[in-house]
Amino acid sequence: MCSYAVNKRAVVLLSGGLDSATALAMAKAQGYACYALSVSYGQRHIAELNAAKRVAQQLGAIEHRIVDVDMRAIGGSALTDDIAVPEHEADEPLESGIPVTYVPARNTIMLSVALGCAEVLGAQAIFAGVNAVDYSGYPDCRPQYISAFQTMANLATKAGVEGDTIAIETPLIDLTKADIIRQGLALGVDYGQTVSCYQANAEGKACGRCDSCRIRQAGFSEAGVDDPTQYLATDEKNT
Amino acid sequence: MCSYAVNKRAVVLLSGGLDSATALAMAKAQGYACYALSVSYGQRHIAELNAAKRVAQQLGAIEHRIVDVDMRAIGGSALTDDIAVPEHEADEPLESGIPVTYVPARNTIMLSVALGCAEVLGAQAIFAGVNAVDYSGYPDCRPQYISAFQTMANLATKAGVEGDTIAIETPLIDLTKADIIRQGLALGVDYGQTVSCYQANAEGKACGRCDSCRIRQAGFSEAGVDDPTQYLATDEKNT
């Protein structure tokens, strides 16, 4: 038995979506005892948090902690405010630039909460399913941002003062959605448990028309894998 | 009329304590329209938030926004957990090292929330009453930490992508408590409205025995100014 492996701990940010589920599976495959962390930030639907609970259990996380951060009080995003989530036909291109679904400082806030948890747990790493390929419009998904967060985090904590660091791990950052899906399937992720849709209904059924649904659909298609997502029928209300 | 001055906006982190009240007065003196922001993080008492409300009003903030962040779910501090706040006699030295009142990642989380608000408001600056002199035990009160946060923030936001930056201003960082008090009084801060005590009662009366009270008392003494703090009588319960 290797006691080092048993003591290696990671906080894994888990949204309930495809990317963070894969990041959790990767952290586990690297031998970390995984502490799943969801930040409840005033999402329009509880479907994401329910998905995160299922994924944490399916992938054997030690715990699933939910920290409430009222990002609605910050505002400025279609995901937390009364701004409509853009919908498109399947053959329309994605919009360029920073989308209205961008939540100001969301990744910074979520990584900061993870940093606090990692410090308390004595964790060596934080895993986040940040991806720069499909989310090139989000400033806080870029590698140079993650690198700057790491530098700041090294100075922010007790661990840093004592010469230890908490590594910010973003194993998906350069992967395409198809590659993420392939690697996740190889690690046993059940993507039928995950919810990516920006406006899923309470049961986790997806709209199939928002940017997140479209990126996800294209990923399954490119990976040549059946898409296990449950989509709303066209006559179902998104409630 | 100078339209630039009218349009210059700052988010000011306001805890209700002496330092952040002074930072707000300084931001205002620099011509900023000030948006006061308190992060309600599971403080033991509501006295701090009540003090912040009074201070925001007294110093003419445009608004006072309270964002809930459940730092109790992170744990690890005497300020959010069931860990006793250390008390000392007035003539005992302060303990060295990182105190148990340190809240893991607190400044990082609060600055991150301020960053989101600043982005939504189109603010040019964030003011925080961070001080490295009296709080040398806190890793996230050091100038090198603030500098690293600035670098990260420049990469985290839409503003950063578009070439603008949101300046992280910490005008108290190198000041002694006595200097902070002198400068704040010159700018009209009513320190009787502020609460610094780590375990103030619901009315904001201070214990006089925690590190924060002792640093504050010494500051008023060194500045040669009457201490307007309301202290609990020795026979009063801290409820």
The tokens describing B9, both together, are 């906006």
Task: Tell me what pLDDT residue B178 has.
Answer: 97
Q: Is A76 on the interface with B (CB under 8 A)?
A: yes
Q: How far is A199 from chain B (nearest CA, A)?
A: 22
Residue with tokens 């920290």: A67
Residue B42, chain A, CB below 8 Å: the answer is no
Interface probe, candidates A69, A72, A168, chain B, greatest B C-beta count within 10 A: A69
Contact by Cβ (8 Å): B126, B103: no
Classify residue B15 as exposed, middle or buried by CB count within 10 Å of its CB (0-12, 13-18, 19+). buried
Task: List the single best residue of A63, A112, A136, A157 to mutate versus B (max B Cβ within 10 A).
Answer: A112
Residue keyed to tokens 């002198």: B182
Distance separating alpha carbons of residues A72 and B88, to the nearest angstrom: 41
- In B72-190, DSSP assigns E strands to 125-127, 167-169
Residue A209: both structure tokens together: 């028309």
Rounded to the nearest angstrom, the minimum Cα separation between B41 and chain A is 9
Q: Quick one: what percent of chain B has pLDDT higher than 70?
A: 82
Burial of B148 (0-12, 13-18, 19+ CB in 10 A): buried
Residue among B228, B226, B181, B232 nearest B206 (CA): B232
Nearest chain A CA: its distance from B109 CA (Å): 5
- pLDDT tens sequence across B188-213: 999 999 998 888 888 889 999 888 89
- What is the b/e burial string over B61-78, where b = at least 16 CB atoms within 10 angstroms of the residue's CB? beebbebbbbbbbbbbbb
To 10 degrees, what angle do helices B211-223 and B177-186 make? 60
Mean pLDDT of chain B: 87
CA distances from B230 to B157, B207, B208, B214 (A): 42, 9, 9, 13
By CA distance, what is A141's nearest residue in B? B156
Across B222-228, average pLDDT: 95
Q: Chain B: nearest CA to A196, how far in angstroms?
A: 22
Distance of CA A35 to the CA centre of its chain: 14
B151/A contact by beta carbon, under 8 A: yes
A202 CB within 8 Å of a chain B CB: no
Please indicate whether, in this complex, the C-beta atoms of A113 and B74 are within 8 angstroms of each other.
Answer: yes
CB A120 within 8 A of CB A113: no
* A138 pLDDT tier (thresholds 50, 70, 90): confident
Q: Is the pLDDT of residue B4 over 60?
A: no
User: Dihedral angle at the C-alpha atoms of A199, A203, A205, A210, nearest 10 degrees?
Assistant: 10
Q: Which of chain A's residues have a Cβ under 8 Å away from the Cβ of B113? A: 69, 74, 105, 109
Q: What's the whole-model pTM score? A: 0.89
Q: Which CATH superfamily is domain B3-223 in?
A: HUPs (3.40.50.620)
Which strands sit side by side in the sheet containing B125-127, from one edge to the other?
A: B63-68, B33-40, B9-13, B125-127, B167-169
Whether the Cβ atoms of residue A83 and residue B128 lie closer than 8 Å to each other:
no
| Strand B9-13 relative to strand A167-169, pairing | unpaired
Residues 6+ apart with CB under 8 A from B53: B16, B64
Residue B189 sits at φ, ψ, to 5 deg, of -70, 135
Residues in chain B closer than 8 A to A153 (CB atoms) = 108
Q: Which among A79, A136, A158, A168 is the top mutation candidate for probing chain B, defined by the most B β-carbons within 10 Å of its own β-carbon?
A: A158
Chain B nearest-CA distance from A52, in A, is 17
Q: Which of A67, A103, A154 sits opposite B73 (nearest CB)?
A: A67
> Does the distance separating the beta carbons of B66 and A158 come in below 8 Å?
no
**Helix ranges, chain A (H):** 3-7, 18-29, 47-58, 106-121, 143-156, 158-161, 177-186, 211-223
pLDDT at B136: 63
Dig out the tokens for A161 from the structure. 């003062």
Per-residue pLDDT tens digits for B32-61: 999 999 998 766 568 889 999 999 999 999
- Decide if B173 touches A, using CB distance below 8 A: no
Q: From residue A100, how far is each of A1, A173, A204, A209, B7 by CA, in Å?
A: 50, 21, 22, 15, 24
Q: CB distance B149–A151 less than 8 Å?
A: no
**With pLDDT > 70 as the criterion, what percentage of chain A qualifies?**
82
Interface residue of B41, B109, B162, B166 to substitute, partner A, most A CBs within 10 Å:
B109
Which residues on neighbouring strands pair with residue A65, listed in sequence order? A37
Residue B146 confidence class, pLDDT cut points 50, 70, 90: very high
ipTM: 0.88
